[in-house]
Amino acid sequence: MKTDLDALLTAPYVFIDDHVVPCRRIGRPPKLTDAELLCLAVAQVLLGFPSARHWMRFAHARLGHLIPYLPQQSAYNKRLNAAGPLIPQVTEALARQVPTWHDNLRLIDSTPLPCAASRETAKRSGLAGHAGYGYCRSHSRYFWGFRLHLVTAAESMPVTWCLANPKLGEREVMTALLERDRRLVRTEQVILADKGFAGREFEAFVTDRLGAHLVRPDRKDEPFRFGTIARVRQWIEAVIDTLKGQLSLEQHGGRTPAGVLARTAQRLLALATAIWHNWHTGATAKRSLIAYDH
């Protein structure tokens, strides 16, 4: 199997169309199928086009041989927003196909997802009442938007995720996320986290409720248990760095709750698709996106 963009889009199209998207039995079939829409969305992220208008102009020249019908920008945005609930289903289906799904290691982390850069924009935004102000410790800055809470496998394959108001505590949101998707966490799994998840209640939840083991860096005010685990912590940071650096997570362009949800899911789907394809092609670096960005 080749490691280029055309092969990357063809393989998941077949998988999604055969195993995930339900067959339509009533009514006229759409000109652009759900499988084609998701492959189009993946290509947009991998090729680095945050603007849907610029992307659709480029797609006619670059992907016309793969996708016969390409909609206008407004129709594409509407279809993508409507596909918000479908995209996580496809991401999970892809994740279940890779060997690390059965590993005993899961990584958890959260990161800011800014949605506006000024107070006036925040007041007029369609996200008012949903988004909120938060503080990013790693960059020492405030932001307005959401916080992405993410659970991945060892090589960064997304397992489950959610968006939450940044005023909510990291541990509380992650507890709710793992409780909601408890079926995705197996007994005796190791959950690797950073210091932000230090707390007796959260650790008791992971140990007693999930039957898993929480591993995180030791705080300065507690006895030695795991040390700094500096090398392993880079696995967590690498996931966020890929999403923000190569997949333009912070340039999502969402203006409504449905838009932000769909565009966040779009980037996680692009990451999952690349990792899934790299496993099938035998690539050494499973998270590498270099072969698909041109």
Q: Which pLDDT belongs to residue 229?
A: 80
C-alpha 242/C-alpha 226 separation (Å) is 26
| pTM across the whole model | 0.94
Q: Copy the structure tokens of residue 261.
A: 């949800």
Report whether pLDDT(1) > 60: no
pLDDT in tens, 258-268: 999 999 999 99
Report whether pLDDT(120) > 90: no
Q: Are 211 and 187 in contact (CB under 8 A)?
A: yes
Residues 6+ apart with CB under 8 A from 186: 104, 212
pLDDT in tens, 50-94: 999 999 999 988 898 899 999 999 999 999 999 999 999 999 999
Q: Which pLDDT belongs to residue 24?
A: 65
Mean pLDDT of the chain: 91
Query: What integer is the mean pLDDT of 212-218?
Result: 92
Lowest-confidence region among 66-70, 104-108, 208-212, 217-221? 217-221
Q: Copy the structure tokens of residue 27.
A: 């009514």
Q: Which pLDDT belongs to residue 25?
A: 64
Q: Is the dihedral of CA 34, 36, 37, 43 positive or negative?
A: positive
pLDDT in tens, 162-197: 999 999 999 999 999 999 999 999 999 999 998 889
Ranges of beta strands (E only) in the chain are 105-116, 132-136, 141-152, 158-164, 190-192, 213-215
DSSP 8-state code for residue 139 = T
C-alpha 171/C-alpha 61 separation (Å) is 46
3-state secondary structure of 53: helix
